[in-house]
Structure 1
Amino acid sequence: MAKGAVKMTRSIAFNNAAIEIKNVDRTYIDANGNLVEALRNVNLSIRAGEFISFVGSSGCGKTTLMRLIAGLDKPQSGELFLDDKKIESTNFERGYVFQQANLFPWETIEDNIAAGLKARKIYREHKSEVGEYIKLTGLQGFEKSYPHQVSGGMAQRASLARALINNPKVLLLDEPLGALDAFTRMDLQDKLIELWQKRGTTMVLVTHDVDEAIYLSDRIVIMTPRPGKIEDVVEVKINRPRNRNESEFIEIRKQILEKLHLANKH
Structure 2
Amino acid sequence: MAVRDIGKNIRDLRERKGLTQEAFAEQLFVTRQTVSNYETGRTRPDIEMLMKIAAALEVRVDAVLYGPKVPQSRRAARRRMAAGGCLLALTAGAVAVLHPLARAFAAARYVTVPNDLLSVLLDPAIALLLGWCALQAAGLLLGARPLKERPWVKNARIGLLALLAACAALVCPYVVWALGTLFDWAGTPGGGWTFPAGAFYLALLTPLLRLNFSCPAVYALFGAALWGLGFPRTGGTEKPSGGDVK
TM range (shorter): under 0.3
| Higher CA-based Rg | 2
User: Greater helix share, 1 or 2?
Assistant: 2
- TM-score, length of structure 2 as denominator length: 0.21
User: Greater strand share, 1 or 2?
Assistant: 1
- TM-score, length of structure 1 as denominator length: 0.20
